[in-house]
Amino acid sequence: MTLTLTLTRKEVIAEGVVLLTLTHPAGSPLPEWRPGAHIDLVLGPGLVRQYSLCSDPADRSRWQVAVLREPEGRGGSARVHEHLHEGAGVRVRGPRNHFALEASPRYLFIAGGIGITPILPMVEEAQRRGADWRLAYGGRSRRTMAFRERLEAAYGERVSVRPQDAYGALDLDGLLGTPRPATLVYCCGPEGLLKAVEQRCSAWPAGALRIERFAPGDRGPYGPDEAFDVELARSGVTVTVPPGTTVLRAVEEAGVQVLSSCQEGTCGTCETTVLDGTVDHRDSLLTPAEQAVHDTMFICVSRAACPRLVLDL
């Protein structure tokens, strides 16, 4: 779904972070979403970026996203900070959710920097559900940590804010050293934090950890990069995907258009249903259990682990 929304408010909420409030120009309610969802902002030709929704899912009058300015980024955050002004129309796609908050009696939330954005509505939802939860929130300094004051004021000791310039890195050994029964761990932040959390959760029960990445994680090893055929069931077309070419590119060259964005298996825009065949999953989104079903794939990176795939395209 693509909407053109109005940027009704743009405010600085932390050093290098702006909060965007988007509303429907006619005042219509926006589509429903649940904690963990994100949207695409279409910022220009070929410039599409994904941002986690961080407002209240119950409030369908507005969507909010927080955007960190990244000097070494690919231009999306600079466009938002420098050229996107209140009153502008913004093309938005989504929402989509590959980081959903599952039911659990206990949660441990771990956020690093701008990774607080998908975690914030999860914390509020866990509180509404009456779950036992804790949040460990790290950042470079207190002034760079979005929503810090709001979280501390609302939840007190449930929230541990640990700016690195005052306390050093998050104490992950203390947080994760002993597996906790019936506890789900949700983590979002820079890749170094995610890797460290994954290592420490290796002794936890399978499926206890949920993470969301902003960039591709370490993936593989993969099968050989060989040619295979892809049958597009709805289009009545079969294409051959040679080594070094993605399914997405081969499909588009055959004249079948698929929404896509990141080209690296992190945003979920190009998710496609698999009707038959075995997938060589190379994305950073699906859990091992989800990958084992072979009923969906992200065609910007994943390939076939068999001679032929049948896709719902």
Q: Give phi and psi for 266, each to the nearest 5.
A: -120, -25
pLDDT digits (tens, 9 = 90+) for 150-166: 999 999 999 999 999 99
- The answer to whether the CB of 237 falls within 8 A of the CB of 253 is no
CA distance 17 to 231: 44
Is residue 263 predicted with pLDDT exceeding 90? no
Nearest residue to 303 via CA among 210, 218, 241: 241
- Residues β-bridged to residue 132: 106
Domain range summary for the chain, segments of one domain joined by +: 2-96, 106-212, 228-311
For helices 116-129 and 148-155, the axis angle rounded to 10 degrees is 20
CA distance 129 to 280: 37
Nearest residue to 80 via CA among 36, 39, 125: 39
CA distance 96 to 52: 10
| Mean per-residue pLDDT, 71-95 | 91
CA distance 20 to 66: 6
106-212 topology per CATH: Rossmann fold (3.40.50)
CA distance 6 to 24: 6
CA distance 91 to 173: 43
Does pTM top 0.75 for this prediction?
yes
Residue 184 is predicted with a pLDDT of 98
Architecture of domain 2-96 in CATH?
Beta Barrel (2.40)
Query: How far does Cα 293 stand from its chain's mean position?
Result: 21
Class of domain 228-311: alpha beta
Residue 217 is predicted with a pLDDT of 66
Q: Give phi and psi for 166, each to the nearest 5.
A: -105, -35
